[in-house]
């Protein structure tokens, strides 16, 4: 049991835990407004619970697109429990929603360094894909020539490395 869900007498706060579990279930089903409502209730009962803060931050980013607040919540959660890779994964997801792939990748790599078998971390790293070096290394990655040549390189690579299509006999 996470310490943030403990009441003052060290007994688990079952209502905060129930709110977190309900919020996570709604998130799995992509019911963002219901998830945010349940997680808000969990935070009302246990305001410093890292997992609830982190998932609520992810909801805020996805539902309200209030990225500054989402980052604040996810960073606070990660600071409260720096050894939980799930918190860094959620922070990485928020960074990716914002469009900051570099920060997202750093956050996911930090989560992976904590637990190399953490499935959500591996899944998010795979979703991001591997970035190659820029075609022209002495130009910035976002320079128009590198972007254009990178897209061309990707098309050529796909054309030569795509599996053969099945043909009926």
In this predicted structure, what is the pLDDT of residue 9?
Answer: 35
Give this prediction's pTM.
Answer: 0.74
- Is pLDDT at 12 greater than 70 in this prediction? no
pLDDT digits (tens, 9 = 90+) for 132-153: 889 999 999 999 999 999 999 9
- Is pLDDT at 3 greater than 60 in this prediction? no
Confidence at 162, pLDDT banded by 50, 70, 90: low
Q: Are 105 and 92 spatial neighbours (Cβ–Cβ below 8 Å)?
A: yes
- Tokens matching residue 32: 């963002």
């Amino acid at each position: 049991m996470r310490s943030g869900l403990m009441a003052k007498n060290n007994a688990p706060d079952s209502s905060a835990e129930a709110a977190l579990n309900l919020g996570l279930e709604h998130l799995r089903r992509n019911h963002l407004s219901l998830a945010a409502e349940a997680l808000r209730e969990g935070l009302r009962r246990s305001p410093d619970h890292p997992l609830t803060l982190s998932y609520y931050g992810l909801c805020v980013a996805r539902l309200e697109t209030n990225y500054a607040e989402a980052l604040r919540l996810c960073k606070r959660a990660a600071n409260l429990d720096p050894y939980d890779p799930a918190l860094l994964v959620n922070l990485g997801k928020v960074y990716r929603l914002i469009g900051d792939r570099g920060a997202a990748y750093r956050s996911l790599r930090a989560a992976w360094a904590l637990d190399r078998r953490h499935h959500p971390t591996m899944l998010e790293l795979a979703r991001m894909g591997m970035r190659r070096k820029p075609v022209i290394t002495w130009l910035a990655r976002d320079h128009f020539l590198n972007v254009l040549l990178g897209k061309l390189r990707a098309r050529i690579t796909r054309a030569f490395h795509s599996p053969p299509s099945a043909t009926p006999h």
